[in-house]
């Protein structure tokens, strides 16, 4: 009995030693220097446990299955080592770590290997392979010799292995799924996932991602049926109109200042250009219903460009961009197919929301982020709207000079939260915001700072309108907001309309045509409800409809048909064409379900490799 206890104790020590060694090897394979990893772990000791625990469960479970600890360690090292090296290569190539969802994309990995000039980490690969072979050899040497005639029951080893793997699963859905724990482990750049992975360790972060950004399989989904929908030929032929299209999604752009709580006059109207365009006969004015409140910029981008709904992807999905890992159909691809030059500009970091990769998957021909923008001009911390307007004008002029039509999309950043008086520098004087209600000093501060940024957003709209109005080439300008601003906990108690269930998700949107485009666009194709409400997911289909591409494919035709029946679908509510608000289990629930099933196919299974 004593010998058995000693033996088990020695095996436990060996297992812990192997766990520590394999975890250290996985961390050493990261692209950042090992000294940086150790310093981060010194400040947050819990990271030692969080990174080693999954390795321990896998090693122990595999060891029981193989009935040899070294064989289990070899299998674990091969798996963890391959993932660690893949993570290093992916971060170095795309500035994006490896996620669990990448495990289903081996075909795409093959394409990527051919598309990039990869500098493989030879030393790390050699060490992982060498350690794996050494562990296998140790397993062979330590295998006990058994007599052939002797029969033993091995069921208990399967039970022990099952317990280890079960504990691993439980840890994934509890400890590693915890956002509270994840957010408590502060890093230098929390929104840049490659930095988070490097500083807090690949094993821990990989496990944390198992329960994040999941796309739920819709009820009744059938892949063959969804594929048939997607490949069906539209019934009505299109007559594309040669109109240039410029989309600008302005950060936190809203018309909350039109609310009764404010007392602006035409002389101090912060939205004078927006209001002028809304009354222009060459314009359509919308109340765009976006997926999120006070945040989620990239989710609105996703909805507009793909026609899918962020809020329908999965119960726990908070970032639609993080679900994208393959080529997708989008507005960029439709216009590119007609010979357009397609572009996306954003004066923020390319890695934020993984835009540098996502827009490539969207099919944008050219992208430009702050890293490649010449001499950027700032208003406070963020790049000025006026500066981005100049880049858009330059891109338009350059494209026309090349003899090409243009589809250009931009997302601004100047009026990004927060809104303290220090936003535009010490001593900056903000014009007062006239209110006919009482608000707290903090709310007044936020309003005054936000409205100052709103003035600049409106000036950008006016500048682009004036520039495009002077052009002889036909142009459609689409200008809209991504979400309402966050102004504090009590601001909307005096601003919002309690009778409007969509208020917190509404932003203004105008579609304006210069004289040349007004003669070409099919304004009658809009068929908008009288109140102008429209889900952001339908905006792209509307643009295609107006420019003679409303039946560019079966998907676009379906969206345009659905938007005429149910112009707004938002969480559990929807709005019918006559303005009636009902729940999504109503008359058009079958079409809404079809929309979700079709989206699931396009996002997770449709093959657009090489396109």
Which DSSP string corresponds to 275-297?
A: HHHHT-TTEEEEEEE-S-SS--H
Distance between CA atoms of 82 and 121, rounded to whole angstroms?
12
Question: Within a domain: residue 149?
Answer: no
Q: How many CA atoms lie within 13 A of 11 on its CB side?
A: 16
With bands split at pLDDT 50, 70 and 90, how would you rate the model's confidence at 154?
low
The per-residue DSSP string of 336-360 comes to HHTT-EEEEEESS-TTGGGHHHHHH
Q: Across the strands, what pairs with 345? A: 368, 410
Question: Within a domain: residue 611?
Answer: no
Q: Are 122 and 202 part of one and the same domain?
A: yes
184-203 burial: b if 16+ Cβ within 10 Å, else e? ebebeeeebbbbbbbbbbbb
Lookup result for tokens 């980490």: 121
pLDDT at 585: 79
Q: Are 428 and 555 part of one and the same domain?
A: yes
Question: Within a domain: residue 30?
Answer: yes
pLDDT tens-place string over residues 187-203 = 888 878 889 999 999 99
pLDDT tens-place string over residues 357-413 = 999 999 999 999 999 999 999 999 999 999 999 999 999 999 999 999 999 999 999
357-374 burial: b if 16+ Cβ within 10 Å, else e? bbbebbbbbebbbbeebe
Lookup result for tokens 């079809």: 594
- Give the closest residue to 476 by CA, choosing from 403, 549, 568, 529: 549
CB 356 within 8 Å of CB 95: yes
Question: Within a domain: residue 120?
Answer: yes
Q: Are 412 and 473 part of one and the same domain?
A: yes
Q: Residue 552: is its pLDDT beyond 90?
A: yes
- The token pair at 557 is 């035709």
pLDDT at 586: 77
Q: Residue 224: is its pLDDT beyond 50?
A: yes
pLDDT tens-place string over residues 328-348 = 999 999 999 999 999 999 999
Q: Residue 152: is its pLDDT beyond 60?
A: no
Return all residues near 386 (Cβ < 8 A) that are at least 6 apart: 377, 379, 456, 459, 460, 463
Strands 533-535 and 283-289: parallel
Please tell me whether the peptide bond between 418 and the residue prior to it is cis, using omega within 30 degrees of 0: yes
Q: What is the mean pLDDT of residues 455-481?
A: 98
CB 250 within 8 Å of CB 385: yes
pLDDT at 435: 93
Q: What is the mean pLDDT of residues 538-545?
A: 97
Q: Are 287 and 207 part of one and the same domain?
A: no
Measured in residues, the chain has a length of: 611
Q: Across the strands, what pairs with 262? A: 435
Q: Are 368 and 499 part of one and the same domain?
A: yes
pLDDT tens-place string over residues 494-525 = 888 888 888 899 999 999 999 999 999 988 87
Question: Within a domain: residue 228?
Answer: no
Q: Are 136 and 189 part of one and the same domain?
A: yes
What's the domain count of the chain?
2
- Give the closest residue to 187 by CA, choosing from 47, 18, 80: 47
Question: Within a domain: residue 82?
Answer: yes
In the listed set 165, 194, 211, which residue is the last one of a domain according to the structure? 211
**DSSP at 67:** T
Quickly list H helices, 374-491. 385-401, 441-469
pLDDT at 115: 45
pLDDT tens-place string over residues 82-115 = 999 999 988 887 677 888 877 765 544 454 444 4
Question: Within a domain: residue 236?
Answer: no
Q: Across the strands, what pairs with 533? A: 287
Q: Residue 149: is its pLDDT beyond 50?
A: no
pLDDT at 4: 67
Lookup result for tokens 């709005």: 575
Q: What angle do CA 150, 156, 162 make, to 5 degrees?
A: 140
pLDDT at 153: 58
What predicted TM-score, i.e. pTM, was given to this entire model?
A: 0.84
With bands split at pLDDT 50, 70 and 90, how would you rate the model's confidence at 282?
very high
Q: Residue 81: is its pLDDT beyond 80?
A: yes
Q: Are 254 and 172 part of one and the same domain?
A: no
Q: Are 13 and 81 part of one and the same domain?
A: yes
Q: What is the mean pLDDT of residues 420-428?
A: 93
* Coil, strand or helix at 379: strand
pLDDT at 110: 52
With bands split at pLDDT 50, 70 and 90, how would you rate the model's confidence at 116?
very low
Task: For residue 131, report the phi and psi dihedrals to the nearest 5 degrees.
Answer: -65, -40
Q: Are 40 and 92 part of one and the same domain?
A: yes
Q: Residue 319: is its pLDDT beyond 90?
A: no
Torsion angle of alpha carbons 459, 465, 471, 472, nearest 10°?
A: -170
With bands split at pLDDT 50, 70 and 90, how would you rate the model's confidence at 8?
confident
Task: For residue 311, report the phi and psi dihedrals to the nearest 5 degrees.
Answer: -70, -5
Percent of the chain with pLDDT over 70: 94
pLDDT tens-place string over residues 238-272 = 889 999 999 999 999 999 999 999 999 999 999 99
CATH number of the domain to which 379 belongs? 3.40.720.10
Q: Are 559 and 598 part of one and the same domain?
A: yes
Q: Residue 584: is its pLDDT beyond 50?
A: yes
- Give the closest residue to 43 by CA, choosing from 148, 188, 152: 188
Distance between CA atoms of 113 and 129, rounded to whole angstroms?
20
Q: Between 610 and 150, whose confidence is greater?
A: 610
Question: Within a domain: residue 526?
Answer: yes
User: Which run of H or E residues covers position 135?
Assistant: helix 122-141
pLDDT at 611: 65
- The token pair at 464 is 């682009």
CB 312 within 8 Å of CB 595: yes
Q: Which domain holds residue 55?
A: 9-141+154-211
Q: Are 403 and 552 part of one and the same domain?
A: yes
Q: Round the average pLDDT of the chain to a whole number and report it.
A: 91
Backbone conformation region of residue 427, classed left if phi is above 0, alpha if psi is from -120 to 50, else beta:
left
Q: Residue 128: is its pLDDT beyond 90?
A: yes
């Amino acid at each position: 009995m004593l010998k058995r206890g000693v033996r088990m104790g020695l095996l436990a020590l060996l297992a812990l030693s192997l766990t520590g060694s394999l975890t250290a090897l996985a961390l050493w394979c990261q692209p950042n220097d090992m000294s940086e990893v150790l310093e981060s772990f010194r400040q947050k000791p819990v990271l030692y446990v969080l990174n080693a625990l999954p390795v321990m469960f896998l090693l122990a479970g595999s060891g029981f299955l193989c009935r040899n600890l070294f064989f289990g360690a070899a299998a674990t090292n091969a798996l963890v080592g391959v993932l660690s090296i893949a993570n290093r290569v992916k971060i170095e190539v795309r500035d994006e770590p490896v996620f669990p969802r990448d495990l289903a994309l081996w075909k795409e990995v093959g394409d990527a290997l051919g598309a990039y000039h990869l500098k493989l980490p030879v030393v790390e690969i050699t060490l992982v392979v060498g350690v794996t072979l050494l562990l296998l050899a140790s397993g062979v040497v330590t295998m006990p010799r058994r007599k052939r005639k002797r029969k033993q029951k091995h069921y208990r080893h399967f039970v022990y292995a099952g317990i280890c793997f079960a504990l691993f699963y439980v840890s994934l859905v509890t400890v590693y799924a915890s956002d509270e724990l994840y957010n408590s482990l502060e890093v230098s750049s929390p929104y840049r996932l490659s930095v988070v992975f490097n500083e807090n360790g690949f094993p821990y972060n990989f496990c944390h991602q198992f329960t994040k950004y999941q796309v739920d399989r819709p009820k009744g989904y059938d892949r063959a049926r969804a594929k048939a929908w997607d490949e069906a030929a539209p019934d009505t032929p299109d007559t594309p109109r040669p109109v240039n299209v410029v989309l600008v999604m302005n950060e936190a752009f809203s018309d909350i200042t039109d609310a009764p709580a404010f007392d602006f006059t035409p002389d101090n109207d912060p939205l004078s250009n927006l209001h002028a365009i809304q009354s222009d006969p060459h314009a359509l004015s919308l109340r765009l219903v976006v997926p999120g409140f006070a945040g989620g910029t990239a989710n609105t981008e996703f909805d507009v460009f793909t026609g899918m709904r962020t809020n329908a992807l999965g119960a726990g999905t908070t970032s639609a961009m993080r679900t994208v890992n393959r080529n997708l159909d989008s507005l960029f691809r439709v216009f590119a197919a007609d010979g357009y030059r397609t572009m996306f500009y954003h004066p923020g970091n390319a890695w934020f929301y993984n835009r540098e990769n996502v827009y490539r998957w969207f099919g944008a021909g050219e992208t430009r982020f702050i890293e490649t923008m010449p001499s950027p001009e700032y208003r406070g911390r963020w790049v000025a709207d006026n500066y981005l307007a100049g880049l858009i004008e330059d891109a338009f002029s350059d494209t026309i000079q090349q003899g090409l039509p243009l589809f250009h999309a931009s997302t601004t950043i100047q009026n990004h939260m927060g809104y303290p008086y220090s936003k535009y520098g010490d001593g900056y004087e903000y014009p007062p915001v006239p209110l006919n209600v009482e608000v707290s000093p903090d709310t007044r501060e936020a309003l005054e700072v936000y409205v100052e940024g709103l003035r600049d957003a409106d000036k950008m709209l006016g500048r682009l309108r004036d520039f495009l109005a002077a052009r002889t080439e036909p142009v459609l300008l689409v200008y809209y907001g991504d979400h309402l601003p966050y102004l504090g906990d009590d601001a909307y108690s005096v601003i919002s309309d309690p009778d409007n269930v969509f208020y917190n998700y509404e932003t203004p949107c105008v579609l304006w045509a210069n004289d040349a485009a007004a003669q070409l666009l099919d304004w009658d194709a809009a068929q908008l409800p009288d109140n102008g409400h429209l889900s952001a997911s339908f905006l792209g289909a509307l643009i295609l409809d107006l420019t003679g591409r409303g039946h560019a494919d079966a998907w676009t035709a379906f969206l345009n048909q659905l938007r005429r029946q149910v112009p707004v679908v938002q969480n559990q509510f929807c709005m019918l064409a006559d303005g009636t608000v009902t729940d999504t289990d109503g008359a058009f629930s079958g079409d809404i379900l079809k929309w979700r099933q079709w989206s699931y196919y396009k996002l997770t299974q449709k093959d657009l490799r090489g396109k």
